Every structure is written in C-alpha cells, then in structure tokens.
Structure 1
Amino acid sequence: MESRKRKAYSIAEKLNVVDRLRSGEAQVSVSSDLNIAESTLRGWLKDEEKLRSSLAGMDCESSKRKRQRTAKDTQLEKAVIDWFNQERSEGTTLSGPIVQGQAKAFHQMIHGDGAGGFEGSNGWLRNFKSRHDIHEVRIRGEQRSADETAAAEYPPILKKIIDEGQYTPEQIYNADETGLYFKMLPDRTLAKRSDEQKTLGFKQAKNRLTILLCTNSTGTHKLPPLVIGKFAKPRCFHHLNMETLPVVYANSANAWMTSAIFEDWFHRHFVTAVRRHLRQQRLPTKALLLLDNCGAHPKTLASKDRKIVISFLPKNTTSKIQPMDMGIIANSKRMYRRHLVKSITARGDLSLPEFLKRRTIKEAIYMFASAWEEVSRQSIHGCWRRALGEAIVTSDDADDSDEEFEGFSAADVSRAFGVSDTDIEEWLNVDEDLPTTAHLTDNEIVANATSQCTEAEESADEDEDQEMEPVPALSSVVQGLELGLRWLETSSNGTAAQTCHLRNIIAMARAAARDSCKQRKLTDFFHSHSD
C-alpha cells in the first residue's frame, strides 16, 4: 500500500496553528478543519512553550547574523539613511549618483575636509542598498504633486459654476492630451535556457504621437481624437482625402501640442461638433470645457458668441479630479494595444520587422479610432463621477454600472509574446508619462534640437522608406468590392446593415467609373471669363 507523504511544518507554522486553536478559530476535535491529525495538534499544544523558546532562539541567531553586516562608519550610515528617508517622504526622486554624492558631502561634514578613505564607490552603494533593503522602482503618475486641499475644494466650486451657467451634464466637456508609442512592443519574452539568442530582439520603435481626447460628462458625445504627428504630410497620406480620416490630424516639430494647434482645434472642430450635438439633443448651444493648466492651453478662449467657454482646473490637481485621468485615456490606450496584439498574431507569414515597417501613422490612426469608439458611455460617466463627485449628477446615475477598465486579458499578450503579467502591465503603461507639451527657454530649445537630431533623422528616414501606395484604378476597385460583397452575402459573419452599406459603396464606385469614361468635349477644357 502506498504511504502518504506528510508535510513538514516549521516552528512558525506550528505556532500559527496553536494561536488559531487558542483564539477559537479552529477546533482540536475536528481535524479536517486544519487537515492535521488530532494527536499532532494536541502534541503542539503541549509543547507550545518549547516551540516559542526555539523560535526566540532562532530569531536571536538571525539578528546576530544581520548585525554582522553593519557599516564601518556608523555615523555616516545613519546620516545617509536619515537623509534618504526624509527625502523620500517628501517624494524626492533619488538615484544612485545622488546618494553617493550626498554621502561624500556628509563624510566631509562629519570627518572634515582633509579626511580620506571614502570614495562613495559603486560597491559602497550596492552594500548600502542591501543593508537597508532599498530597490530601484519606476515612478508613475502625478499623485505626489497633487494638491489634496484644492482637489477636495474644487467640486463645490464647479457645482456653483454649473448652476450659474445652467449647464446640463450633456453640455460639460473635458479634454486632455496623452502620448502614444504606436509601434512599441514588449521588451521581454519567455525563452528556453538553451536558446542562445534568447536576449536578441529588435530595436524598439519609439515613433510617437500626441493624442487629444475629449468627451462630455454623460459619455454620449465623444469627439474624434486630435492626433499630432511630426510630419505635415507623411508618405502614407499620399493621395489620401484627409476628410475621410476618423480623426483630426495636425503636426508639430516634436509631435507636441502647441497653443496654435489647440486654438485651431477649439474653433474649427470642438465648437462646431458641440453645436451640432446640442442641436440634435434640442438643447441650448452653450457648453463648458474643463481643461488643465497646460501651457499649450490658451487662457482666454471662447466661441465668437461667448456661449462655449473654458474653465481651468486648479493647479496640481489633474491626477485627482480630471475625468480623463481617471481611466478614460488609460482604457482607450489599452484597447489600442489589444488591437495591436491581434494584428500581430494575425500577420501570417509576414516577419515582425516587416510588420512593424508597415505600421504607418495611418494604420495607427484607424486602430486608435476603433479603440476610442469601444470606450463605453458607462465607463466615461463613471470616471466623471469618480473625479468630480457631487458636481456631476444625472438622472440615470442609479442605473450606471460604473464598469471597471479591464482593457484586455493577459492571455492575449501571452499568446503573442509570452510575457508575464508584470511585464504586460509595464508595457501597457510604457508611455504613461510621455510629455505632450513643454514651455522651453531659448537655450533649452537649442539643446533639445541638438539632442533630438538623431531621433528626428531616423523618423524622417523611416518615413522616406515607406513606399507610396498607388491609387487603384476604378475598374479594379469595383471588381474588388463586388468580390467582397459575394463573400459577405455567403458568410455567417455578415449582417444586413453591412451588406446594404457595401452595396451603396459599390454603387458609388460604379458611378465614379462611368463618369470617368464619359467622352469629353474640347470646350470642356475652356472656361469663360464670366466663370
């Protein structure tokens, strides 16, 4: 008969069980509660004092071993760790060289300028971090710099502004920028130990865009994203009718938001779209746009009739009370990366470098527009309520599901790259703190231009390498659409609405083909002076 292996319990585990028995959380008479034999439990209770004495002796030995790893200069050690703790409590970012420099300064203060023997070497830094369990971590977000008091006081102030302006939730908007590395992939993967090329990868594509997202507090009106790139007319836009893009496109030298771009977007797109939406809802054409205190947001901005105005959130509060920062932007970017992963897994025989080469700004635009469309109304309104609370109230709040932002499952990424949950989260937030605008001095502008020269040239070279797609002949277009229609009509994936929509497109293409084949008269190429 096969014998069952018994688990070996440590002294700490035994005492934990004894404590549970003493507190009444478990019963000795019911051994199934703990899956331990009753006789064993009674033996642990009987030997409780011996167990505690043994554990105390082990702790003593452990503390002796720890005390052996002490610093040679205890005064310097205490000064450095006290300074370190103080600076971190205030949120100061500390690097290894900063700690080493401060240690040298403390050494001079303690032992005098002439004292030698301490260099603050990398070995000292490594041992210092080991002694105090200090690790390097990545800083995210702006929670440290948030003004808690101003954030708490703002919702009643906004409520008063809304009441005085008689704005409905449909008429209250928020807009904010975010950066996007639209080609970047995870930089870690699972690999076998025997794989000699497991650490070899591809150069990370840090092609970036700045995207402005805007929506009202009910989530019923999401404006098309404003996408800012480096180039006014990328090669992938050749022969492209810009009006067909699902976004508004602009450009600047660093792909950053500028006051000129924002003002143009406000007057030409925001005001027009808001008026159209409010007329459809049969509401007064007035609105309030909430913005953060970014230097690229003009401080005096309003529609010509002064009915659509802006209001600024208090400084250093956007991470606390700006609706876009409560998850709307994060969820849209997660949706984008879900689409990116799906496109990678469906790339077929195309190699990954070739796939990335073909990922143009146009492809990223359509993909992000789809991601933005998938962010639900309930999610948006939930973020508004989390950010501004009592200031945002609607009649259907009771029915609001306030759904969580799940983005997509780790399995989607794991199938494509085989990365862990921690690496997935790091990849999802890789461009969280990517700057979208800056106020630079003249010297900073020159310095940045010099340091960014290589990156700009690489982007320009990549843009030049992208082949311009020729405009297809109308006859080929009609044939392709008709082939697609036959597939859609026989496929189980198609819907009646999709079939009707495709038929309308085919009819439009046929009409354009007929017009292009009409015999032209010589007089058609001349115009009278009265025209």
Structure 2
Amino acid sequence: MDKSSKGKRTVITVEVKKQIISKHESGVRVSDLAMQFGMAKSTICSMLKNKDAIKGASVAKGVKTLKQRTQTMEEMEKLLLIWITEKQLAGERITESIICEKALHLHAQLVANTPGASAEIESFKASRGWFEKFKKRSGIHGKHAEAASANKLGADQFVLEFKDYVVSLGFAPQQVFNCHETGLFWKRMPRNTYITKDEKALPGHKPMKDRLTLLLCANASGDFKSKPLLVYHSENPRIFKKNNVIKSKLHVMWRANSKARVTRQFFIEWVHEVFGPSVKKYLQDKNLPIKCLLLMDDALSDPPGLQDELMEEFAFISVKFLPPNTASLIQPMDQQVISNFKKLYTKAVFQRCFEVTSDTELTLKEFWKNHFNILHCLHMIDKAWRDVSQKTLQAAWKKLWPDVVPEHATEAVEEDVPLVEDIVFLGNSMGLEMSGADVEELVEEHGAELTAEELQNILLEQQKAAAEEMSSEEEESRESVPTAKIKEMFAKWAEMQAFVEKYHPDKAAVSHATNTFNDFAMSHFRQILKLRQKSQVKLFW
C-alpha cells in the first residue's frame, strides 16, 4: 500500500452500497464481495445490517452519506401533527404554505431551546419535498392544502341551495341535524388565577393541558341532543379501574387514540351505535317519517363513500357536507352552541369546586391538583350538554335556515351574560380574582394557537397516560394470577427440577440452567406470594 494513502478513510457512495446489497441478495457471498470491491468483510456486514435504510434512500448519484433525521426534526413533526389536529377541531382549513411556515417556526423554537442544535436551522427549509414526505409519514390528507380563509361566497350560495334542498325533500326542523367536533381542555383554570400562575412557577411542573375531543350533535328544532362521542388519549384511565367504571354506561360514547382525535372509524361507530338508533326512536315517538338529514363539515370525516358505509338499517340517514371553509360562518354548532356548552362546563366545574371547598377541609388548590379527575369531568360534560337550552340550539340555525327559527329563540344570545356572571361570582367566592373577560378568554383558549411548549405539554400528557395505562394493564395481568395456581406451578417446577437433576448427565449445565430460571422467572412469582402474605397479615390484625 502507498504510504501516502495509508490511514486515509475510503468513503463509499450510496450507489455502490446499493450494488453490494443487490449482489448479496442475488446470492453472492460476503467474502467474494469483499474481494471484488476491495473492502473488509466487516465493512460489507455493516452495510448489510443497514440495508433497509440504504435501499430506501433516494439520493443523487455520487452522494456518499445518508442524511439522518435529527431528534429535533422528529420532535417538530410530532408537535406539528398535534397543531394540525387542533386546527381541524377548530374547523379551520390550512394550506401547505401555512403548514410549512408553522413547521419552520416550531423547528426554530425547538432549536432555540436545545443546546448545541443551532446549526440545524440552516439545514431545515420546509421544502415541498419535505412536505410530501411528512404527509406520507403522518397520514394527513390533501384537504389540508385547500384555501384557509373563510369562504363567504360559498356560504351565501350554500344557504340558498340548502333551503331548496330541504324543501324539495320535505325535511322538517325535527329531521335535520348538525354535528361538529371540538377540543376541550378539561382541566384548565383562567390564565390570571393564582392556580394557573402557581402551576407555571413550579420547577418542572407543566400547566394542565390535558385535552379531549367531543362530537356534539342536535337538531334544528332544538328538542333532540344526541349522546356525545368523546375521544381521549387513554382507553382505560386508572380512575376508571379504581371505580369499576363500565364505559358502555357512560353518558358519552368513549373512544381513545394517541391523538385524542375523532377518526372516520369512530364517527361511523357513533352513527351506527348512537346517532342512528336514537334518531330512529325519536322520529317514531314524534310520529314523523323515518328519514333525516345529517349536516356536517367535511373536515370531520373524509366525504367520499361515507353514505355507502352506513348499515342498511340506517339508510334513512342522508348526509350533506358544508362547503370548505364555511363552518365558522353558517355551521349551526359553531354559532354559539359550542361556546355556550363550554361556559356551562366551566360553571359546572366551578360549582363542584365551590361545593367541595365549602363542605370539606380541602383547599381549592388541593382539590384541583390532586382530586379533580376525568370522572369528575364526565359528570360536568353531561350536565353542561343537558343544560344547553332549546332556544340556544334553535337560534344556531338563524344564518343557515332562518325560516325555521322562532322569534323568541333569537334572545338565546342573552343567556350567556348571566352565565358568565355566575362563573365570575363562583370564582371570586373561592378567592380567584377574575372577570368576565377572563371567562371569555378561557373559552376561546380551547381553540387558540398553541406554542411549541404547549404542544410539548400535550404530547407529554399523552405519553404519560399511555405509559400509565400500559403499566396498569401489566400490573392487572400479574395480580390476576390466582395464588392457588402459583403454588401449583411451584410444585410442578420442583418436580421437573428434581427429574432433570437426577437423570441429566451434565450436572453442571443443569445446575446453571435451573438457577437461572429460578432467579429470572420463578422469583417473580415468589415475590407476588410474599406480598399477598403480608397483605393477609395486615388485614388479619
């Protein structure tokens, strides 16, 4: 070897690596490849270990290294996906350029908070190529590339078309329904209260950002409210297990996924199990024709083929979608129904806090931080949804279908004023310094723009709940083994151990194997028996 070349590291192009992998997959041996390409066998083996990444790489000819995705990039995309979900919940449409702009902003925020990562800013451009790959990785749909601004022209045109449509098909107000999803930060106090300020001041403590998603639905006559669909990030919260909660008996249809998001599958299940049967019974009780119209924003569920997925027994349900970007203008649920529901939820929460702090020795901070849980939240949701008045539900159709809105229903807007005053009174009674503006801000915050830190808090809450749920399930499976069964297995293991030790010729190997099994397997069950024996002693005394 030439002295001048000694010590130099030869860098192999991705193209050559692909050739080597291809030859090996066609049957060429490692030793032959090493000889052909003048490389060490260990180098060839290293390539083969990483062959999936190398084969999947799309790089220009002559490129020598694969560009690795950084941890900051991975984190940014997770937060970006949560942000997109929040926008969906608010009924907003976002363009590709808006998503890329948010990606750049989140990436910069993360880099600024990560020591030694400043060089990454230059490497991330939020290009069209990145966006296309992000779409594939995350599964977001093309509808995100639509115009983001409110579609006033489309809304006006739809109002005229809608009137003709319901008249031509003979739909009465009782037969026309609207559903819409919304996010709810179920454990959040107004920003200016001492509880929220104390949360932010505590080292390492994250403000309460736990969120769930609700799907609310009612009809134009305001005398029918469907059981809500609720999606949380935990299938079986620990508090459910402690209280033996039967989810099918809840006042909501409980579903869960990591993003706490309504999926098409969940929506179809809700139609089949909740909406369809309850609407059919309602129409029968009212002696109305068994037909109905479900109006919805197409951001809720991909429109193509939705009607075809309904079971035959629910063929009486017609589905109609609002035009893109018109929800804030004409969708009934967006016309103060959801905001009224959130104020009623806040009032119910404050009322519960007031009662607890008045009737027990718990302080507000103690109850809020350590005792207020998702079960309390479910009771508050049920109460708030029941308390949304018929007038509020009727008035919500004024912009879309004014012909069916009674005159008295237009006064429903005024119901919010005393409601806000009640919340402020309850808050002040518990020592919270707050005003009506704080209540309005709290309601608006459920759909407000989230910072990188807030998105990270949501992600952490989701991961924490998932970890607790997994841990709880593992614990439950361990504890479910009967004591008698454990003792039976110990007897069988002792019998097996004696048999092997007596008849196996290699005594040393047997001793090593049985000791290993005892240490790593049977000791676990011995510990369970010890804990149960201690528990029995405590109970006896």
Letter in 1 for 2:442: W
Q: Does 1:212 align with 2:215?
A: yes
Q: Choose which of 144, 148, 161 in structure 1 pairs with 2:165.
A: 161
Letter in 2 for 1:182: W
Kindly state the Cα deviation for residue 164 of structure 1 after the two structures are TM-superposed. 2.1
Q: Which residue of 1 aligns with 2:434?
A: 419
For 2:254 and 2:448, the matched residues in 1 are separated by 22
For 2:375 and 2:428, the matched residues in 1 are separated by 27
Q: Does 1:278 align with 2:283?
A: yes
For 1:199 and 1:254, the matched residues in 2 are separated by 24
Q: Choose which of 399, 410, 420 in structure 2 pairs with 1:408.
A: 420
Q: Choose which of 257, 262, 271 in structure 1 pairs with 2:262.
A: 257
Kindly state the Cα deviation for residue 281 of structure 1 after the two structures are TM-superposed. 0.2
Letter in 2 for 1:284: P
Letter in 1 for 2:223: T
Q: Does 1:375 align with 2:388?
A: yes
Q: Which residue of 1 aligns with 2:336?
A: 327
For 1:261 and 1:199, the matched residues in 2 are separated by 35
Q: Determine which structure has the larger helix proportion and give its number.
A: 2
Q: Choose which of 400, 404, 419 in structure 2 pairs with 1:393.
A: 404
Question: Given that residues 218 and 224 in structure 2 are in contact (C-alpha distance below 8 angstroms), is that contact kept between their aligned partners in structure 1?
Answer: yes
For 1:461 and 1:355, the matched residues in 2 are separated by 23
Question: Given that residues 186 and 377 in structure 2 are in contact (C-alpha distance below 8 angstroms), is that contact kept between their aligned partners in structure 1?
Answer: yes
Q: Normalising to structure 2: TM-score of the pair? A: 0.52
Q: Which residue of 2 aligns with 1:72?
A: none
Question: Given that residues 291 and 317 in structure 2 are in contact (C-alpha distance below 8 angstroms), is that contact kept between their aligned partners in structure 1?
Answer: yes
Question: Given that residues 179 and 431 in structure 1 are in contact (C-alpha distance below 8 angstroms), is that contact kept between their aligned partners in structure 2?
Answer: yes
Kindly report which structure 2 residues correspond to 1:464-475, keeping only aligned pairs within 5 A, or say none. Answer: none
Q: Sort the Cα spacing of 1:413 and 1:463 in 2 relative to 1 into closer, same or farther, 3 A.
A: farther
Letter in 2 for 1:220: D
Question: Given that residues 223 and 273 in structure 1 are in contact (C-alpha distance below 8 angstroms), is that contact kept between their aligned partners in structure 2?
Answer: yes
Kindly state the Cα deviation for residue 187 of structure 1 after the two structures are TM-superposed. 2.9
Q: Which residue of 1 aligns with 2:465?
A: 459
Q: Choose which of 366, 376, 391 in structure 2 pairs with 1:363.
A: 376
Q: Does 1:225 align with 2:237?
A: no
Q: Which moved more, 1:456-465 or 1:421-430?
A: 456-465
Q: Choose which of 152, 155, 158 in structure 2 pairs with 1:151.
A: 155
For 2:433 and 2:388, the matched residues in 1 are separated by 27
Q: Choose which of 301, 304, 310 in structure 1 pairs with 2:312.
A: 304
For 1:197 and 1:337, the matched residues in 2 are separated by 20
Letter in 2 for 1:459: A
Letter in 1 for 2:362: L
Give the 3-state SS of the residue equivalent to 1:400 in structure 2: helix
Give the 3-state SS of the residue equivalent to 2:356 in structure 1: coil
Letter in 1 for 2:185: Y
Q: Does 1:317 align with 2:329?
A: no
Kindly state the Cα deviation for residue 158 of structure 1 after the two structures are TM-superposed. 0.6
Q: Sort the Cα spacing of 1:198 and 1:211 in 2 relative to 1 into closer, same or farther, 3 A.
A: closer
For 1:345 and 1:287, the matched residues in 2 are separated by 42
Kindly report which structure 2 residues correspond to 1:34-45, keeping only aligned pairs within 5 A, or say none. Answer: none
Q: CA RMSD in A?
A: 3.7
For 1:434 and 1:246, the matched residues in 2 are separated by 30
Letter in 1 for 2:370: K
Deviations 1:455-505 (A, max 9, x none): 32333467689999xxxxxxxxxxxxxxxxxxxxxxxxxxxxxxxxxxxxx
Q: Normalising to structure 1: TM-score of the pair? A: 0.53
Question: Given that residues 378 and 403 in structure 1 are in contact (C-alpha distance below 8 angstroms), is that contact kept between their aligned partners in structure 2?
Answer: yes
Q: Sort the Cα spacing of 1:357 and 1:254 in 2 relative to 1 into closer, same or farther, 3 A.
A: farther
Kindly state the Cα deviation for residue 428 of structure 1 after the two structures are TM-superposed. 2.4
Kindly state the Cα deviation for residue 162 of structure 1 after the two structures are TM-superposed. 0.6
Kindly state the Cα deviation for residue 247 of structure 1 after the two structures are TM-superposed. 1.3
Larger CA Rg, structure 1 vs 2: 1
Give the 3-state SS of the residue equivalent to 2:184 in structure 1: strand
Q: Which residue of 1 aligns with 2:250?
A: 245
Q: Choose which of 255, 269, 273 in structure 2 pairs with 1:268.
A: 273
For 2:282 and 2:220, the matched residues in 1 are separated by 14
Q: Sort the Cα spacing of 1:198 and 1:184 in 2 relative to 1 into closer, same or farther, 3 A.
A: closer
For 1:160 and 1:346, the matched residues in 2 are separated by 51
Deviations 1:356-413 (A, max 9, x none): 332222221111110010010011101111x3144x426xx24435311333313333
Letter in 1 for 2:404: V
In structure 1, the gaps of 5 or more residues are 1-91, 102-142, 436-448, 469-531
Q: Does 1:236 align with 2:252?
A: no
For 1:197 and 1:357, the matched residues in 2 are separated by 14
Letter in 2 for 1:179: G
Kindly state the Cα deviation for residue 337 of structure 1 after the two structures are TM-superposed. 0.6
In structure 2, the gaps of 5 or more residues are 1-97, 109-146, 476-541
Deviations 1:321-368 (A, max 9, x none): 000000001100110011111222233222424533322222211111
Counting aligned pairs with the same residue, the percent is 26
For 1:388 and 1:429, the matched residues in 2 are separated by 23
Q: Sort the Cα spacing of 1:209 and 1:198 in 2 relative to 1 into closer, same or farther, 3 A.
A: closer
Question: Given that residues 228 and 252 in structure 1 are in contact (C-alpha distance below 8 angstroms), is that contact kept between their aligned partners in structure 2?
Answer: yes
Give the 3-state SS of the residue equivalent to 1:388 in structure 2: coil
Question: Given that residues 224 and 369 in structure 1 are in contact (C-alpha distance below 8 angstroms), is that contact kept between their aligned partners in structure 2?
Answer: no
Give the 3-state SS of the residue equivalent to 2:320 in structure 1: strand
Q: Which residue of 1 aligns with 2:179?
A: 175
For 2:381 and 2:289, the matched residues in 1 are separated by 31
For 2:316 and 2:200, the matched residues in 1 are separated by 58
Kindly report which structure 2 residues correspond to 1:476-487, keeping only aligned pairs within 5 A, or say none. Answer: none
Question: Given that residues 213 and 262 in structure 2 are in contact (C-alpha distance below 8 angstroms), is that contact kept between their aligned partners in structure 1?
Answer: yes
Q: Which residue of 2 aligns with 1:133?
A: none
Matched pairs, number: 314
Kindly state the Cα deviation for residue 433 of structure 1 after the two structures are TM-superposed. 4.2
For 1:451 and 1:336, the matched residues in 2 are separated by 23
Question: Given that residues 234 and 465 in structure 2 are in contact (C-alpha distance below 8 angstroms), is that contact kept between their aligned partners in structure 1?
Answer: no
For 1:433 and 1:328, the matched residues in 2 are separated by 18
Give the 3-state SS of the residue equivalent to 2:396 in structure 1: helix
Q: Choose which of 425, 440, 443 in structure 2 pairs with 1:428.
A: 443
Kindly report which structure 2 residues correspond to 1:177-196, keeping only aligned pairs within 5 A, or say none. Answer: 177-189=181-193
Q: Sort the Cα spacing of 1:297 and 1:360 in 2 relative to 1 into closer, same or farther, 3 A.
A: farther
Question: Given that residues 173 and 290 in structure 1 are in contact (C-alpha distance below 8 angstroms), is that contact kept between their aligned partners in structure 2?
Answer: yes
Kindly report which structure 2 residues correspond to 1:283-298, keeping only aligned pairs within 5 A, or say none. Answer: 283-294=288-299, 296-298=301-303
Q: Sort the Cα spacing of 1:204 and 1:450 in 2 relative to 1 into closer, same or farther, 3 A.
A: closer
